[in-house]
Structure 1
Amino acid sequence: MTDPDAARGGSPERRRGHGRPARERVSSADLSSNRAEPLVRTGAAEVSEAETVFTRSLMRTQARLALASVLSFVVVVVFFTFVISRIPALHDLSIAGVPLPWLMQAYGFYPIIVVFAVIHTVAAMRTERRFRALVEHE
């Protein structure tokens, strides 16, 4: 029997002049279940109590903002759905043969989503700007 690699002039590793590198498995030796004490920051500055208070305040503010955004979004979507389903005059209108309520359901929600996304993003950025001003001021 002949070796197909030998027929072509040797194995690919031999032709290149070196063999394939050995595979290495990288894993963490620091399993969370084996750790008795919490991880210690290295190279980071000490966090002051004021920064901790400001950070927790920022987190609470962002959570309230998210909750308010979601609740107001749900209210607007429910109202929009109610308007589509409860105004009979809309069912008589059609654009290019498609009833207006169908078009409103197909394309009317996207502008609502975009408006709420922009409002939430601007409010979140304003909140973070205030946080940075407080932290930098200290």
Structure 2
Amino acid sequence: MSDQPDPRAPDAEGSPTTPPEPPARVRVTAPGTGAAAASARRSVSRPPADGASAPESVYVRSLIRSQLRLGITYAAGFALATTLFVLAIVLTPVFDDTFVFGVPLSWLLLAVGVYPLAITVGVLYSRAAARNEARYRALTEAE
């Protein structure tokens, strides 16, 4: 049995004790960054509520297509570069014969070598996507 008293049992005065209320929930948010400003902007995926003009809807569709094309291009490039990296390691037998801290060099290259490639592709994609959106904003603000 536990040493703690039953919270429903009456106390010395004869009234049942109630468990303490849990603390109120508190929402924790990140400190103010550029993310708040980005969310305050109007979304580019749907037209404004007052009705979009024909050129604006064409611009939005064009932006969506260019972002999709950009994403597919970078994903295919990453897949190709990763495949070539793995093939270079597999087809080079000296990597299997060389050991670093008891682990074959080929395993270390596979474990660590793909990350710089992924980070580079991610940074390049992010910059290209931001350029696409900046061009879109320049077109819509020019009207």
Same fold (TM over 0.5): yes
| Partner AA of 2:103 in structure 1 | V
Aligned to 1:69: 74
| Partner AA of 1:103 in structure 2 | L
What TM-score do the two structures reach when normalised by structure 2?
Answer: 0.66
Q: Is it true that 1:101 corresponds to 2:111 in the alignment?
A: no
Aligned to 1:87: 92
Aligned to 2:61: 56
* Identity over aligned pairs, percent: 35
Q: Report the number of matched residues.
A: 106
Give distance in 1, aligned partners of 2:103 and 2:17: 68
Kindly state the Cα deviation for residue 98 of structure 1 after the two structures are TM-superposed.
1.6
Give distance in 1, aligned partners of 2:112 and 2:9: 63
Kindly state the Cα deviation for residue 110 of structure 1 after the two structures are TM-superposed.
1.0
* Structure 1 stretches lacking a partner, 5+ long: 13-42
The alpha-carbon distance between structure 1 residues 71 and 11, as it changes in their structure 2 partners (threshold 3 A), is: same
| Partner AA of 1:65 in structure 2 | L
- Map 1:110-125 onto structure 2 (within 5 A): 110-125=115-130
The alpha-carbon distance between structure 1 residues 48 and 5, as it changes in their structure 2 partners (threshold 3 A), is: farther
- Map 1:2-41 onto structure 2 (within 5 A): 8-9=14-15
- Return 123-132 or 88-97, whichever deviates more: 88-97
Compare relative contact order (CA 8 Å, sep 6+) and give the higher one, 1 or 2. Answer: 1
Give distance in 2, aligned partners of 1:99 and 1:10: 68
What are the superposed Cα offsets for residues 89-135 of structure 1, whole Å, 9 maximum, x if unpaired? 22222222221101011111111111111111010000000000000
The alpha-carbon distance between structure 1 residues 4 and 88, as it changes in their structure 2 partners (threshold 3 A), is: closer
| Partner AA of 2:101 in structure 1 | A
Show structure 1 runs of 4+ deviating over 3 A: 3-12
Q: Which has the larger radius of gyration?
A: 1
Give distance in 1, aligned partners of 2:68 and 2:137: 17
Higher helix fraction: Structure 1 or Structure 2? 1
